[in-house]
Homo-oligomer: A and B are copies of this chain.
Amino acid sequence: MKAEARMARQEFKFVGRSVHRVDGIEKVTGKAKFTGDLKIPGMLYGRILRSSYPHAGISSIDSSRAEALPGVAAVLTAADIGELDPYYNGRPVIAIKKVRYVGEPVAAVAAEDQESAEEALSLINVQYEELPAAVGLDAALAKGAPLIHENLKDNICGHEHVEKGNIEQGFAESDEIFEETFTFPMVYHYAMEPHSVIAEFNDEGIAVWSSAQHPFQVRGDIAKLFGLHPTKVRMVIPFLGGGFGSKSYTKFEPLVVALARKARRPVRICNSVTESMLTVRRHGARVRLKTGVKSDGTLMAREAEIHLDTGGYADNGPAVAIRAATRVLGPYRIPHIKTDAYAVYTNSGSAGSFRAIGAPQTIFACESQMDMIAAKLGIDPADLRLKNFLKKGEELRPKLRGMDANLASSLKKLVSVSEWKRRSKKKGAAMGLGCGATNAGATPISVAMVRLQPDGTLTVFAGSTEMGQGVRTVLSQIIADELSLPLEAIQIGGADTKVTPYDASTGSSRSTTLMGTAVLRAARDLKNQLLKIGAEAFRAKPGQISLADGAMICGEMRLTFKEAIRQRFGGSGGELIGNGDVGPEITGTLPVFWEIGMGSAELDVDEDTGEVTIKRYVSVADVGKAIHPEGCVGQEEGAAMMGIGHTLFEQMVYEPGGELINSNLVDYRVPGFKDVPKEFETVLVENEDGPGPHGARGMGEGGLVSVAPAITNALARGYGIRIKDLPLTPERVWRALKEKKK
């Protein structure tokens, strides 16, 4: 198998090589268009009036003065969508009767220019009746807490329970029991491009240009909301300036559609960063973790209670809870399990998808505790993990596909590249590690189409969103090798739901594996059609024909693809269409793949200030097969930096009154270039055992989850402080050091 794979690898001209990105020139020359760059003729500019209360009834809205302002085309309020069922993805199109967080859209204006729209907002008079608010988990979970959704009996938005074995028995059979509570802050994705949407509503239907990672799901929501057949809703996705989950599912597209419907002209709304931070963020979390072990380090039982701060509306909070309840288990063999994860409504902006949903919060807890166990039992942390890792094929819990990766090979690679055995034992070394494995949420539904044009060029119709991750390049590489076409002959665009076939989403690290398989199958379908034409032309068998540089070769004979189309159709014109799709058959059961990331950190702490400096960070990603190695390394490094952000710096601060007070780059600290670890290494493990093309598996999220525990474990090992609350602000570290010295 391996020899075979290696042989096959030699045949690749593009796969496995870090070719120039197919969208590189467009991007570096500034030609690449993002939604906010587009101007649809006749387009109006929209702005949103947002609630200044965290929880209040709306008694009235008077927009007459705004409507009278010159340049204002329309003002939208809940009254304008009265005939619709206005809920989607746990949110209303626009606030209905009450608001549930500071920043909730209450009205929206479309005007000839930004300034008029802005001015009109100030002319809208909203009368509120303030209600008691519940800001933060404690307030929302307290007895007698105000009900954020008054039709529910409490503020629980979603609950996931996982159980296996007998938890009581597990603890009874354990030699040691560990129980701790960890907290993780609310953080924001901080993609370079805030959310942007343009909508047009006319007799033909609805057209929406949006920074959306899930165009087909947004299409479905809009179609349902406005009572149209999905094929009458056209979603066009230009380039995206970073997603990281912030642009998953439907955000405020329906509001812009409703505004365009009222204005009878296209409308564009581009969020400010502050507005985007109020639109979606990562769940803050509290994780109580109780683990029983044998004295030889064998894990026996784990109980966890996880509370996630979902905010005013559900978004995909329940899905985050579902993942968290499993991801808290780590990639370990634990016979007795009982975990509960709760998504909790609070009076703040909604939380939703964010790179590795539910994982950083829970794996921080899990991997911190692993080190506490190792320390207590006097076992090397790497050895403790190796002892408990799931073996390939072994089940984490029922109803999940068994582990499909060789975890030990990744950890051994980390141990060797980081020189763990030597460096972590040096006196004064502050070195720690963490291991992450997540059951990726990738939905195995992708359909793709490749169309060979009469001039021999190929147009790819794949609904994946290019958001910086390089998906257009990776898909092009896969197709180019399958069809022996130069990359230049391949045209690939973004999703246009009128044109591109169905794709579940761009998210969950799924595109290379799933859309990659769909385009590979589409290319094979096309290849078979070409070979049939070639066989007829050469009077040969398809097996005697090889492909090279956009042509079929058979002995001395050669037929270019262009000639093949002419041969098929006997004149100029025509085209050959190859289709491919992928469904659950790719693996039979879910997850489609396990995503594996491990990392080690070495630190320096300024004991006077508490400032943490990362001297060295090694990240190991099991990618199965790296289609574009530099792209994988870039993804992994980016993920690690994002992990450094939530570990050391980032947290969204809501004051008790419900206002987010640090929604800008001055007050919300993201990692900068000076925070890049001095030594920063990424190692790709390529066991070619993933379900994707040529053995690839999803990556790009795994690098994120090991960072926090690797750093807190390094602090514990080097400085003797165990911090269970993130981020590791200098103050928090300094206080912990001071506490220890007492």
Contacts and interface: CB of A to CB of B under 8 A. Distances in A.
Interface in A223-237: 229-231
A336 to B, nearest CB: 31
A449 interface: yes
A106 to B, nearest CB: 28
Interface in A569-619: 569-571, 573-577, 579, 581, 583-584
Interface in A494-508: 496, 498-499, 501-502, 504
Nearest to A533: B583
Interface stretch (A245-253, A296-304, A454-462, A544-552): A454-462
B575 A502 contact: yes
A266 interface: yes
Nearest to A584: B570
Given A203-B33, A266-B41, A574-B502, A455 B569 contact: no
B453 A231 contact: yes
A459 B231 contact: yes
Contact of A502 (B454, B570, B583): B454
Given A445-B570, A499-B499, A584-B569, A491 B229 contact: yes
A708 interface: no
A734 interface: no
A708 B451 CA distance: 47
A217 to B, nearest CB: 8
Given A31-B203, A231-B491, A216 B451 contact: no
Contacts of A203: 31, 33
B573 A502 contact: yes
Contacts of A33: 203-204
**Which of A42, A229, A569 has most B Cβ within 10 Å?**
A569
Interface residues of A, number: 46
A42 B318 CA distance: 44
A40 interface: yes
A574 B581 contact: yes
A560 interface: no
A735 interface: no
A204 B447 CA distance: 25
A491 B499 CA distance: 15
Contacts of A504: 571, 573
Interface in A476-520: 491, 496, 498-499, 501-502, 504
Contacts of A444: 569-570
Interface string A647-688: 000000000000000000000000000000000000000000
A230 B447 contact: no
B451 A577 contact: no
Contact of A499 (B216, B457, B498, B579): B498
Contacts of A159: none
Contacts of A577: 447, 449, 501, 579, 581
B265 A41 contact: yes
A570 B31 CA distance: 40
A23 B102 CA distance: 49
A705 to B, nearest CB: 26
B231 A575 contact: no
A73 interface: no
A222 to B, nearest CB: 15
A563 interface: no
Nearest to A31: B203
Given A231-B453, A447-B575, A568-B583, 15 more contacts: A40-B42, A41-B41, A41-B265, A230-B453, A230-B455, A231-B491, A445-B569, A445-B573, A447-B574, A498-B498, A501-B577, A570-B583, A571-B584, A575-B581, A579-B579
Interface of A: 31, 33, 40-43, 200, 203-204, 216, 229-231, 265-266, 443-445, 447, 449, 451, 453-455, 457, 459, 491, 496, 498-499, 501-502, 504, 568-571, 573-577, 579, 581, 583-584
11 contacts: A33-B204, A40-B41, A41-B43, A216-B573, A230-B453, A231-B491, A443-B571, A447-B574, A502-B574, A569-B583, A577-B581
